[in-house]
């Protein structure tokens, strides 16, 4: 009897912890050494064990966050941390625009906002190497990069319009149990600004224009992976206060930080 009395608060607390952070928690990604898909200086990188959110952060979760931390509300975020398009699909500080779904991934968020969100959950943004590592798995294997079907699927998503308006969790989960690394939105990584294409990438163009030509991907270690090249090029072209329609995020933690 006594134990039963205690069960309820425990269940409530556990439920609360999950609803406060990610609705379905995180999964462990076992680290390994691998060669990332793109990079002029491609070498083996080591990814240590880490935990990754199963889903990207949703509008609903982000709403809880801005309620708690008003300085990240649409009208209050400072321009140096989030540009004018920040939360553009929100009606006001605490409401989405009509037609936007609470369980769609939050987008139009800057890197600073994403970082603050993860910090406030006791987490961090995944590094680019971690994100790419988790994302090279398909439904059955850890490294699906050589599979033709894997690459085709990603590229066909890149062509699909307005996927950011879909709900989380509708794509199949990958080998690690993570959903939506591909097929929904692109995601911020902690060191997105470590991408340097061909030396000082931005100086290769007369204008401060970061559109890269596909032919540059010939420098990639794996020619199959044009999709990965697009991701790196995209990261190399954005700035930390940009809030973009198709760019969301999820959080990670070091494996030793969790029980």
The answer to whether 58 and 71 have CB atoms below 8 angstroms apart is no
Cβ at position 81, least distance to other proteins in Å: 7
d(CA 150, CA 140): 11
- For other proteins, the binding residues in 103-132 under the rule CB under 8 A are 111-112, 115, 119-122
In this complex, which beta carbon is closest to other proteins, that of residue 111 or of residue 150? 111
Q: Which two tokens stand for residue 249?
A: 């995020």
Residue 204, interface with other proteins (CB under 8 A)? Answer: no
What is the nearest approach in angstroms of other proteins to the Cβ of residue 25? 13
Out of 27, 64, 69, 142, name the contact with other proteins by CB under 8 A: 69
Shortest distance (Å) from residue 166 CB to other proteins:
29
Query: Quick check: 195 binds other proteins (CB under 8 A)?
Result: yes
Any contact of residue 98 with other proteins (CB under 8 A)? no
Residue 136 has a CB neighbour count (10 Å cut-off) of 22
Rank residues 161 and 199 by Cβ distance to other proteins and give the closer one.
Answer: 199
Say how far apart CA 168 and CA 217 lie, in whole Å: 30
User: φ and ψ at 243, to 5 degrees?
Assistant: -120, 120
25 binds other proteins (CB under 8 A): no
Segment 208-217 long-range contacts (CB within 8 Å, at least 24 positions apart):
210/236, 210/237, 210/238, 211/237, 212/236, 212/237, 217/38
Please enumerate in sequence order all residues whose Cβ is within 8 A of that of 112, keeping only pairs 6 or more positions apart, or say none.
81, 82, 240, 241
**Under the criterion CB under 8 A, does residue 193 sit at the interface with other proteins?**
yes
Instruction: By CB under 8 A, tell whether 3 contacts other proteins.
Output: yes
Q: How far is the CB of 221 from other proteins (least distance, A)?
A: 15
CA atoms of 153 and 32, how far apart (whole Å): 25
Torsion of CA 12, 18, 21, 26, to 10 degrees: 160
For other proteins, give the closer residue by CB, 80 or 94.
80
Least separation in angstroms between CB 143 and other proteins: 23
- In this chain, which of 59, 166, 190, 217 binds other proteins, going by CB under 8 A? 190
CA distances from 138 to 151, 156, 159, 178 (A): 10, 15, 19, 10
3-state SS assignment for residue 254: strand
Q: Write down the least CB distance from residue 150 to other proteins, Å.
A: 26
Which residue's CB is nearer to other proteins, number 62 or number 111?
111
94 counts as binding other proteins under rule CB under 8 A: no
Buried-exposed string 71-104: b where 16+ CB fall within 10 A, e elsewhere:
ebbbeebeeebbbebbbebbeebeebeeebeeeb
From 89-97, 100-108, 172-180, 199-207, span contacting other proteins (CB under 8 A): 199-207
* Contacting positions for other proteins (CB under 8 A): 2-3, 6, 9-10, 13-14, 16-17, 20, 40-41, 68-71, 78-81, 111-112, 115, 119-122, 190-191, 193-196, 199-203, 236, 239-241
């Amino acid at each position: 009897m006594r134990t039963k009395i205690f069960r309820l608060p425990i269940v409530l607390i556990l439920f609360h912890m999950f609803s406060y952070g990610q609705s379905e928690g995180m999964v462990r990604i076992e680290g390994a050494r691998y060669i990332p898909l793109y990079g002029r200086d491609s070498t083996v990188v080591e990814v240590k064990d880490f935990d990754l959110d199963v889903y990207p952060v949703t509008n609903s979760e982000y709403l809880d966050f801005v309620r708690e931390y008003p300085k990240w509300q649409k009208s209050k975020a400072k321009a140096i941390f989030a540009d004018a398009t920040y939360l553009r699909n929100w009606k006001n500080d605490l409401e989405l625009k009509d037609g936007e779904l609470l369980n769609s991934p939050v987008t139009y968020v800057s890197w600073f906002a994403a970082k603050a969100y993860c910090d406030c959950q006791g987490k961090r943004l995944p590094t680019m190497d971690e994100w790419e590592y988790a994302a090279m798995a398909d439904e059955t294997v850890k490294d699906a990069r050589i599979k033709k079907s894997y690459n085709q699927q990603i590229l066909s998503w890149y062509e699909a319009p307005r996927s950011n308006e879909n709900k989380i969790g509708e794509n199949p989960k990958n080998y690690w149990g993570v959903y939506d690394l591909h097929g929904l939105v692109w995601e911020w990584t902690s060191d997105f600004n470590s991408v340097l294409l061909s030396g000082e990438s931005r100086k290769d163009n007369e204008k401060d224009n970061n559109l890269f030509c596909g032919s540059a991907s010939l420098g990639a270690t794996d020619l199959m992976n044009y999709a990965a090249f697009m991701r790196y090029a995209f990261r190399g072209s954005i700035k930390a206060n940009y809030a973009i329609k198709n760019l969301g995020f999820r959080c990670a933690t070091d494996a030793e930080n969790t029980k």
